Structure 1
Amino acid sequence: MSRSEPTPPAVIAERIEDVDVSDEMQGSFLEYAYSVIYSRALPDARDGLKPVQRRILYQMAEMGLRPDKGHVKSARVVGEVMGKLHPHGDTAIYDTLVRMAQAFTLRVPLIDGHGNFGSLDDGPAASRYTEARLAAPALAMTENLDEDVVNFVPNYDNQLTQPEVLPAAYPNLLVNGASGIAVGMATNMAPHNLIEVVGAARHLLAHPDASLDELMEFVPGPDLPTGGTIVGLSGIKDAYATGRGSFKTRARVSIEAISARKTGLVVTELPYLVGPEKVIEKIKEGVNSKKLSGISDVTDLTDRMKGLRLVIGIKTGFSPEAVLEQLYRYTPLEDSFNINAVALVDGGPQTLGLRELLVVYVGHRIEVVTRRSAYRLARRKERLHLVLGLLIAIIDIDEVIQVIRTSDDSEQARKRLIEVFELSQLQSEYILELRLRRLTRFSRIELESERDQLEAEIAALEKLLSSKKAIRTLVSDELAAVAEKFGTPRRTLLTEAKPSIAGAAAKRGTPVVLEVQDAPTRVYVSVTGRIARVDVAESNETLPDRASPVKRRSKHDAVLSVLDTTTRAEIGAVTNLGRLIRFTPVDLPLMPSSSIQLAAGVKVGDYLALSNKSEKVLAIVSLDSEQPIALGTKQGVVKRLAPGDWANKPDFEIIALKAKDEVVGAVQGGDDDELVFVTSDAQLLRFSAGGVRPQGRAAGGMAGIKLSADAAVIAFTSVSPADAETAVVATVAIGSQTLLGVDPGSAKVSDFTEFPAKGRATGGVRAQRFLKGEDTLAVAWVGAAPAHAVASDGSPRTLPESGARRDASGVMLDAVIGAIGAQIS
């Protein structure tokens, strides 16, 4: 062959094997499944950690990231773990680190995070922006790793070693729960309270044959990081018995007055792993799809200072309890949690109940303490052996030095020391390395003290290792110390299932009634400015006769105005500025009819949102009545407003007032009633309401009473023919020169029939003769007996007996009267 000819290619032997595809797929799938189950997805029942979690905690401990050290970048931790122990993506490692730092995910967080580690609705910042270090409970998970308490296995490239399992000073799997999806199986375990779980573990240590019922006395149910309420406990017992079960969690919700006229549902705790944005989104979807009704708005007031606060406004006329039941049914305010307690035991996945989980953990902890004690015993024996050799050397130090100096080399010196002083090889080597400064009298004393201490410790460890009961007691004591250090009170409330309005109605196939029923009710306004209502308890009852007082009267306050109406009716409040404000009584505070306390009502000014502090409510009236509303003003003007002349507005003016004038009284009645004016100069005028022609809203009224100079109207009302015979006139006179609220003055109570009727626009008749120093009326009231006097704070005051002449002088009072009104009936 010539050099110019190309060299033929080498013949490569082909190796082709026929493989059954199904066998190959089955084998490959089993290898993959094995890897996922054992190396990624399932936690170990002993320390409750998946491999990636265990590697993160171990590597951070090796890096010295203790709670008393500074935080380091999370990216640095991720890099160390990925490069040395966990050959997977950095995203998986960082996500695991984040989860271990989230207080809303773990009951006892293991990582102390600094920066944005996410929320229930938002993810965390990137690892380059956050910092981390071990939390204090993580030290209890990794302590004593240098004392041969667990086995170490090679890492992925056989260059380093890592713990097969962590010592775990507390039952982490039960305390923090776990979740993971493997191949053909999954695990989902709820968090529990550390104190309760430790209590059960200690009971099991003391009573190895303890039953599940006994353990459940310590662990009644899960304790979720976000609190909430667990409804129904039967599913929990199933899970504790078999490892599988489910329970429902509900948000913690309170019904509160979010404003004077509006009731709302305030959510302060949500079900486990449910965020407020998810709840708001579902509520909006439900309202738009007509599944939810009665909701006016949703406001998220959550902040770092007050925590979660989600306010759900309820429309007027809807029952908050019924709306809440609808929210439980259609939104994540009620959620289900399915327990599937699958964990690795002796290298294989098992489904474990509560007792089995505790048995595995207790066994692991006993092994850890036993191995730790054996390791400490061996180390102390080794040290004692060296100390005894040093003591021999120090006692005969001159001869030791002579032996060493006369030896040719260190090997000969070692052999001669062993022969002369009967030392071991370790002792002789230790003596040869001894520094001269240790050869003092004080060093000998120290060594003798150390020898005695070592001997005592060795005896204690040998005694411990010889008694299984002592080891179990030590494990129990260490668990108690951990619970005392890291335990916190229970957050989740455990309750039996309550009947659901929505659920019960759905089963019956009947619609859920969300709106408050339109039942008869009575609305009260007190003289001190509070408003409340009383409903009829049963549908077949009728409201009590207003003339008949109830058995238990209020000890405080008096009635300014009262109206019999229905719960959902629209009524109006008349103010001193001549405005009428529409509202319905459905959201008013409800008082029991057997014990009416007006002090329990809401301030009428807050409830109706009056325009300013000087505006006050004088009366409440029906907007469905055919009777006119009569108004009397400070300047003596009277007006009757034609019924039905209402503006289509929440509030509107019903009289055109003159400058510096204001309404002093408002009543609703027919033409047969008598209108009554009382002035500051003690004049009373009564005349027929039929003589006042009803006018429209824009009218300014007509002359009602003729006033003398410097006088003003202080009271205006009406008396029906039915009440005329029992009505009384109560007045309080004072001196205008005295300070208001200081001089009690004098008061009298006369029968209304004592006062003759006169025509409209006249001056009236005298209602009280002034005593020396008195020149004005401070308070006047006309109505059905008995009159009820109160102080400015609503506390009762005493009035004279009725029956005084109309123009008589008053009886001196011993306390200041702020107002007079009707008694509650």
Structure 2
Amino acid sequence: MARRTTTPPPEDFEERIIDIDVSSEMRTSYLEYAYSVIYQRALPDARDGLKPVQRRILYSMNEMGLRPDRGHVKSSRVVGDVMGKLHPHGDTAIYDALVRMAQPFSMRLALIDGHGNFGSPDDAPAAMRYTEARLATAATMLVQSIDEDTVDFKPNYDGQETEPTVLPSALPNLLVNGAAGIAVGMATNMAPHNLVEVISAARHLIKHPDAGLDALMRFVPGPDLPTGGTIIGLDGVRDAYQTGRGTFKMRAKCAIDQVTPRRKGIVVTELPFNVGPERVVTKIRELVTAKRLQGISDLKDLTDRHKGLRLVIEIKNGFNPEAVLEDLYRLTPMEETFGINNVALVDGQPRTLGLRELLQVYVDHRIDVVRRRSAYRRRKREERLHLVDGLVIALLNIDEVIQVIRSSDDSGQARARLMEVFELSEIQAAYILDTPLRRLTRFDKLELDRERQTLQEEIAQLSEILSSDTRLRAVVSKELAEVSKQFGTPRRTVLLESSGAAGTVAVPLEVADDPCRVLLSSTGLLARTADATPLATEGERSNHDVLVSAVASTVRGEIGVVTSHGRMIRVSVVDLPTLPSVAAPPTLSGGHPVSEYVTLVPGETVVGIGSLTAGGAGLALGTAGGVVKRVAPDYPANRDEFEVIGLKDDDRVVGAVELPSEDHDLVFIASNAQLLRFPASAVRPQGRPAGGMAGMRLDEGAKVIFFGAVDPALPARVVTIAGSATALPGTQTGGGKVSDYAEFPAKGRATGGVRAQRFLKGEDTLLLAWAGPAPAKGASTTGKPVPLPEELGRRDGSGIRITNAVAAIGGGLGTHPITGSPTTAAQDDSDDPF
């Protein structure tokens, strides 16, 4: 271990210790630090809207020639040049400022054209050695005419360079891009605005210097944020425009859409200013995990650089998307508060400014810039005109000028003699001596005359601008209009006075368990009605699809789907799509295929739907072998599927119907054109495992092709279509017949029934049969309507050839598929939900 030694001070060393007051020193040092932060770091200048570091970046890039028509250079090169010449602070602060000016989600009008990864609302940018930058086109308007004595310059931190105290700023950058900064004892937070609106207000103020706040707010109604969204509540905006301080709420832009075939969702396309999608996703997941947010089944972030922001929030069935959206606004960053604090430097002093003051400071700055620019340009043209006048004198006296120059001993003598002989100024004489002889020709004389005339006209125009305040203001206004035309974009943020009208009833989170109907169409579509009211009047029936089954239920209830294998499968009603309002003719084209809700084995089909609750006369089933069964409603509550009939190996269910009462008839129609009707009361209810009882006696080779229920007290029809059993399915149209149901006498259960149609030559079987409420309606395999023959008086007559193949028959959406009662408004108060 080394020994540490100390060297004693020399004998002549005089120790100097100064006694100071610590509190006074701390106060002085802290004030100097505070002033430095306020004036040199955190607060923008109200004239160009830039902090010192931003101004130095733009000025240095302009001096480096990094204009929009040049190539990008590495950001580290820009940072190094700014730090070495102008900004006496670290490279991190410079690069952070550069990055922000290149981010379109941070700036309403980006000032830096960045190339590479400049970050996102959630992610940091790449390091400066990996990114490149150049000035954006809009930034050139900030430094435009900076070399024409439009602004003052000051020495840099070491006195070796100079930098502008403010930029000419041909566009109102402070209001357009806003600002944010934290100083010592004060802070600023200014909202971005729309360039077109701000310039319109500035031009109005130029024309009407006494314009009040109300007049200016007709042009600038509120902020226009880079990320769009919605601003709720404009009272705080007006307060900020009047006093410089105020708050408003920002909301995400959302739409409720059908995100999957079975679920609705909330699609978020715009978020509040300075809020990233990852922050929203994280918060939603935390709330769902903590069970503070209900009704959300899935959340996907589909954001990319091509389609932009897209968050898809899936809503569970049974929950109102509107209510879930309100919870998202209340609990997540999808709604944020923006506090306006318009603090900026005016004449080197921090001030809180309203809208009019901000516009006035900018307008005054532009007027001063244009005045100084005009004075500079006039001075330069006057200087040039003075030289041109000297050249013209020399051309008019070219021989004498040459003689004077040749006879002079040196250039000094030549200059003095030219000044004396031709009454020229020293500058004119020196310029003549420096001008090549080849320019002193007759052609150059014409050019000089044209140049002199042009210079005189420009000097007159500039003098007019400088001598007239009205003319000066007109020039400023015209230039602002050109900037607005070049860089203006439509408004992105929607402004709303409030989130809703007073007294608005809150939307319940869960869907109400209201009565509804569940419908099954001939093409296998499932849907539910919006409520229990009738669908449409007789004259408003849909021209698409027909119903084969319907059952009363509630929105949060369940129904059972019955299959040809004798299974009943539970389906949640809230999962089904809702048909349009009764104000328009309904159609099941908006339904979803039943295959989305149940899984069928090969050869199994859906034959109907039934209620899972006790009520009415229960579910009635008919099989191809003529078996009939009424199922006792003792369905298991803990199983999603179960058997409702014990079938023989070669039998299958052909029809299932929910009976409103035992007053209905059960109807069998066999392939040999026999029809049997008997009262439902003739069949006693049986448990689920039971195999049913004899319903219809069948001849050898015959089978049941239709089973249903009909209310004998209401008009009903029987439709049969005959054809050849050897023909391929769907290849023949057959002969069709429509008969009055009342023409068929009732018979006892387990009998053969009566003939429903006489076969013609080439016909030996029924291709299709149906009995139900009038009027009957035919449909193709795609659900399109197919005309049926006119009604015949004879129940056992032959059919009429049908031009188009019929795939299904039903009572249409305008009638009850079981009772046959017309669904008119007069039935709204009846006990029957249909």
**Please, what TM-score do these two structures have when normalized by structure 2?**
0.88
Matching residue of 2:168: 167
Match of 1:716 among 691, 707, 719: 707
Query: Does the CA contact (< 8 Å) of 1:45 and 1:361 recur in 2?
Result: yes
Query: What secondary structure, in the 3-state scheme, does the structure 2 residue paired with 1:718 have?
Result: strand
Query: Does the CA contact (< 8 Å) of 1:264 and 1:311 recur in 2?
Result: yes
Q: 1:281-680 maps to which residues of 2 (within 5 A)?
A: 281-499=282-500, 513-536=508-531, 543-544=532-533, 549=537, 552-554=540-542, 556-575=544-563, 580-587=568-575, 588-599=577-588, 601-605=590-594, 608=597, 617-625=606-614, 629-632=619-622, 643-646=633-636, 648=638, 650=640, 664-669=654-659, 674-679=665-670
Matching residue of 2:740: 751
Query: How far did 1:793 drift?
Result: 5.7
Larger CA deviation: 356-365 vs 802-811? 802-811
Query: How far did 1:303 drift?
Result: 1.6
Query: What secondary structure, in the 3-state scheme, does the structure 1 residue paired with 2:50 have?
Result: coil
Distance 1:634 1:85 in 2: 95
Query: What secondary structure, in the 3-state scheme, does the structure 2 residue paired with 1:100 have?
Result: helix
Matching residue of 1:102: 103
Query: How far did 1:36 drift?
Result: 0.3
Query: Does the CA contact (< 8 Å) of 2:694 and 2:749 recur in 1?
Result: no
Query: How far did 1:269 drift?
Result: 0.9
Query: Does the CA contact (< 8 Å) of 2:57 and 2:82 recur in 1?
Result: yes
Distance 1:207 1:603 in 2: 63
Distance 2:317 2:593 in 1: 17
Larger CA deviation: 268-277 vs 527-536? 527-536
Q: 1:201-216 maps to which residues of 2 (within 5 A)?
A: 201-216=202-217
Distance 1:336 1:612 in 2: 56
Distance 2:363 2:651 in 1: 85
Distance 2:338 2:774 in 1: 64
Distance 2:22 2:8 in 1: 40
Matching residue of 1:539: none
Matching residue of 2:797: 808
Larger CA deviation: 669-678 vs 329-338? 669-678
Matching residue of 1:126: 127
Distance 2:635 2:140 in 1: 78
Query: What secondary structure, in the 3-state scheme, does the structure 2 residue paired with 1:780 have?
Result: strand
Distance 1:93 1:748 in 2: 88
Alignment deviations for residues 633-663 of structure 1 (CA, whole Å, 9 cap, x no partner): 5676766655344585555676788999875
Distance 2:792 2:71 in 1: 87
Matching residue of 1:767: 756
Q: 1:49-88 maps to which residues of 2 (within 5 A)?
A: 49-88=50-89
Query: How far did 1:590 drift?
Result: 4.7
AA aligned to 1:677 is F
Distance 1:399 1:611 in 2: 115
Distance 2:475 2:515 in 1: 70
Query: What secondary structure, in the 3-state scheme, does the structure 1 residue paired with 2:288 have?
Result: helix
AA aligned to 2:295 is G
The verdict on how the C-alpha distance between 1:16 and 1:769 changes in structure 2, with shifts beyond 3 A counting, is same
Query: Does the CA contact (< 8 Å) of 1:748 and 1:804 recur in 2?
Result: no
Distance 2:601 2:439 in 1: 91
Query: What secondary structure, in the 3-state scheme, does the structure 2 residue paired with 1:621 have?
Result: strand
Distance 1:614 1:112 in 2: 64
Matching residue of 1:3: none
Larger CA deviation: 298-307 vs 205-214? 298-307
Alignment deviations for residues 152-180 of structure 1 (CA, whole Å, 9 cap, x no partner): 11111111111111111111111111000
Query: How far did 1:470 drift?
Result: 1.3
The verdict on how the C-alpha distance between 1:409 and 1:335 changes in structure 2, with shifts beyond 3 A counting, is same
Query: How far did 1:774 drift?
Result: 5.7
Larger CA deviation: 624-633 vs 96-105? 624-633
Larger CA deviation: 75-84 vs 652-661? 652-661
Query: Does the CA contact (< 8 Å) of 1:260 and 1:602 recur in 2?
Result: no
Structure 1: which 5+ residue stretches go unaligned?
A: 1-5, 506-511, 537-542
Query: Does the CA contact (< 8 Å) of 1:640 and 1:692 recur in 2?
Result: yes
Query: How far did 1:382 drift?
Result: 1.1
Larger CA deviation: 759-768 vs 142-151? 759-768
Alignment deviations for residues 399-438 of structure 1 (CA, whole Å, 9 cap, x no partner): 2222111111111111111112221111111111112332
Query: Does the CA contact (< 8 Å) of 1:527 and 1:557 recur in 2?
Result: yes
Query: What secondary structure, in the 3-state scheme, does the structure 2 residue paired with 1:106 have?
Result: coil
Query: Does the CA contact (< 8 Å) of 2:534 and 2:582 recur in 1?
Result: no
Query: Does the CA contact (< 8 Å) of 1:554 and 1:595 recur in 2?
Result: no
Alignment deviations for residues 684-731 of structure 1 (CA, whole Å, 9 cap, x no partner): 34456655874647979989663765x765433223xx4465332123
AA aligned to 1:196 is E
Query: Does the CA contact (< 8 Å) of 1:325 and 1:501 recur in 2?
Result: no
Distance 1:678 1:91 in 2: 87
AA aligned to 1:567 is V
Matching residue of 1:706: 698
Alignment deviations for residues 217-254 of structure 1 (CA, whole Å, 9 cap, x no partner): 11111111111111111111001000000000111111
Query: Does the CA contact (< 8 Å) of 1:550 and 1:594 recur in 2?
Result: no
RMSD: 3.4
Query: What secondary structure, in the 3-state scheme, does the structure 2 residue paired with 1:146 have?
Result: coil
AA aligned to 2:774 is A
Matching residue of 2:143: 142
The verdict on how the C-alpha distance between 1:226 and 1:397 changes in structure 2, with shifts beyond 3 A counting, is same
Query: How far did 1:43 drift?
Result: 0.5
Query: What secondary structure, in the 3-state scheme, does the structure 2 residue paired with 1:591 have?
Result: coil
Distance 2:225 2:668 in 1: 67
AA aligned to 2:698 is K
Structure 2: which 5+ residue stretches go unaligned?
A: 1-6, 815-822, 824-834
Distance 1:429 1:708 in 2: 130
Distance 2:647 2:663 in 1: 26
Matching residue of 2:769: 780
Query: How far did 1:379 drift?
Result: 0.9
Distance 1:482 1:393 in 2: 45
AA aligned to 1:518 is D
Identical-residue share of aligned pairs (%): 60
Give the number of equivalent residue pairs: 804
Matching residue of 1:223: 224
The verdict on how the C-alpha distance between 1:465 and 1:808 changes in structure 2, with shifts beyond 3 A counting, is same
AA aligned to 2:244 is G
Alignment deviations for residues 354-401 of structure 1 (CA, whole Å, 9 cap, x no partner): 111000001111111111111111111111111221222222222222
Distance 1:609 1:205 in 2: 71
Alignment deviations for residues 279-305 of structure 1 (CA, whole Å, 9 cap, x no partner): 122112222323211222211111222
Query: Does the CA contact (< 8 Å) of 1:236 and 1:246 recur in 2?
Result: yes
